[in-house]
């Protein structure tokens, strides 16, 4: 079969990214311009600043992605872009860029769901991975347990009732003075802390076997921190980080393994920024081995936001004939 080369663009939050991906699995280039340093002083992503920075960076990202792949716009077969969910102003920058290229070069345009992109990151380094499999999607905005029935066919069996896992990491990190972005900072601090120092609650939701809830856990950590402060006790941030992280990753792993067993899935994949968490990866590696489940996890750089994953997801849409018109718009709350 003829090779399919896709230029992919991602700008849904605070990373401006472009990539060139061949046949859905071979990454020819993967350029990420991170805005993290810019937002750190505000303690979180400022949407207006994110949009403006995307505008500044997007053309450069596309240019470098093409040149690193040794290609020009004439060589690509289609343009894929994240059109939701995400920050509307941020999404619009990538969508406009992709539409401009599609129009100017008469290339097919493919709209990609951001979460579908995260899931498809697993195809890049696991060349033989094929549906069906279970996937735990844990990012800054989403916590979903998904059965991937086929390419483009997803059954959501569980999701968060309140905060996303990454959001809980970010909020707790801010409270213990680790700053933004919280996930990687808690991951690092936890390595120096005692995960048994505190027992924080692991919310279970009656009647909803696979749903998550992280706001109770987050509140209990914040309460502990405030109490310690009022009583003038010194806070051991590493212990709090380790104990909080343990409570999160244990509930994520428990749900994921149970889902594999109940749904008869012999493969578990993970996706999203929180999937780069070392404690989660270690625990799932152990649990999957103990239960005879194949464990797929993307390299950390493919877990957090990137455009290569959008190129992977876009390829399978393209092969199914799913292309979009130039009226493609950003959809901030696009459902999976």
Give strand ranges (E) for the chain. Answer: 5-10, 15-22, 26-34, 78-84, 109-113, 133-138, 143-150, 153-159, 267-271, 294-296
Q: Looking at beta carbons only, is 29 or 139 nearer to ligand KG4?
A: 139
| 59 in a known ligand binding site | no
* 270-329 binders of ligand KG4 (CB under 6 A): 272-274, 276-277, 304-305
Contact 101, 71 (CB under 8 A): no
Which strands form 15-22's sheet, in the order they lie side by side? 26-34, 15-22, 5-10, 78-84, 109-113
Q: Looking at beta carbons only, is 101 or 164 nearer to ligand KG4?
A: 164
CB of 182 to ligand KG4, least distance (A): 5
Give the C-alpha separation, 293 to 146, whole Å.
16
Q: Looking at beta carbons only, is 96 or 139 nearer to Zn ion?
A: 139
Q: Looking at beta carbons only, is 11 or 139 nearer to Zn ion?
A: 139
Estimate to the nearest angstrom the gap between the alpha carbon of 226 and the chain centroid. Answer: 31
* Residue 94 binds which entry of Zn ion, ligand KG4, none, CB below 5-8 Å type-dependent: none
Tokens of 246: 């343990």
Number of residues that bind ligand KG4 (CB under 6 A): 19
Give the C-alpha separation, 6 to 309, whole Å.
11
| 183 in a known ligand binding site | yes
Q: With binding defined as CB under 6 A, does residue 117 bind ligand KG4?
A: no
Give the C-alpha separation, 173 to 180, whole Å.
7
Binding mask 149-188 for ligand KG4 (x = CB under 6 A): -----------------x--xx----------xxxx--x-
Contacts of 266 (CB under 8 A, 6+ apart): 133, 260, 292, 293, 294
* Residue 182 binds which entry of Zn ion, ligand KG4, none, CB below 5-8 Å type-dependent: ligand KG4
Q: Looking at beta carbons only, is 97 or 305 nearer to Zn ion?
A: 305
In 129-168, which positions are buried (b, 16+ CB within 10 angstroms) versus exposed (e)? bebebbbbbbbbbbbbbbbbeebbebeebbbbebbbbbbb
Contact 11, 17 (CB under 8 A): yes
| 141 in a known ligand binding site | yes
Q: With binding defined as CB under 6 A, does residue 13 bind ligand KG4?
A: yes
Q: With binding defined as CB under 6 A, does residue 19 bind ligand KG4?
A: no
Q: Which of 163, 160, 177, 165 is nearest to 240 (CA)?
A: 177
| 74 in a known ligand binding site | no
CB of 45 to ligand KG4, least distance (A): 9
* Residue 96 binds which entry of ligand KG4, Zn ion, none, CB below 5-8 Å type-dependent: none
Which spans of this chain sit near Zn ion (rule: CB under 5 A)? 139, 305
Residues that bind ligand KG4 (CB under 6 A): 13, 139-141, 166, 169-170, 181-184, 187, 272-274, 276-277, 304-305
Q: What are the binding residues? A: 114, 118, 137-141, 170, 183, 187, 277, 305
């Amino acid at each position: 079969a003829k090779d399919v080369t896709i230029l992919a663009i991602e700008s849904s939050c605070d990373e401006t990214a472009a990539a060139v991906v061949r046949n859905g699995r071979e990454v020819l280039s993967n350029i990420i311009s991170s805005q993290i340093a810019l937002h750190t002083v505000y303690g979180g992503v400022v949407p207006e600043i994110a949009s403006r920075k995307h505008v500044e960076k997007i053309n450069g990202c596309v240019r470098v992605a093409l040149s690193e792949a040794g290609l020009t716009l004439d060589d690509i077969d289609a343009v894929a872009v994240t059109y939701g969910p995400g920050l509307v102003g941020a999404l619009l920058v990538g969508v406009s860029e992709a539409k401009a290229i599609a129009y100017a070069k008469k290339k097919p345009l493919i709209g990609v769901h951001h979460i579908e992109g995260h899931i498809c990151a697993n195809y890049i380094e696991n060349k033989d991975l094929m549906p069906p499999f279970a996937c735990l999607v844990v990012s800054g905005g989403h916590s979903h347990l998904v059965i991937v029935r086929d390419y483009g066919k997803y059954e959501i069996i569980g999701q968060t009732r309140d905060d996303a896992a990454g959001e809980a990491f970010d909020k707790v990190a801010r409270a213990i003075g680790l700053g933004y972005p919280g996930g990687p900072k808690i991951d690092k601090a936890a390595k120096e802390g005692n995960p048994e120092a505190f027992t924080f609650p692991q919310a279970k939701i009656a009647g909803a076997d696979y749903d998550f809830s992280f706001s109770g856990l987050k509140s209990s950590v914040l309460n502990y921190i405030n109490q310690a402060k009022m009583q003038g006790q010194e806070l051991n941030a590493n212990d709090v980080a380790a104990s909080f992280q343990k409570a999160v990753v244990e509930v994520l792993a428990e749900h994921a393994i149970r889902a594999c067993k109940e749904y008869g899935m012999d493969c578990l994949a993970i996706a999203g920024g929180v999937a780069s968490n070392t404690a989660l990866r270690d625990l799932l590696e152990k649990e999957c081995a103990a239960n005879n489940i194949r464990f797929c996890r993307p390299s950390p750089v493919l877990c957090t936001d990137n455009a290569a994953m959008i190129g992977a997801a876009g390829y399978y849409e393209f092969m199914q004939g799913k292309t979009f018109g130039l009226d493609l718009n950003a959809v901030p709350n696009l459902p999976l």
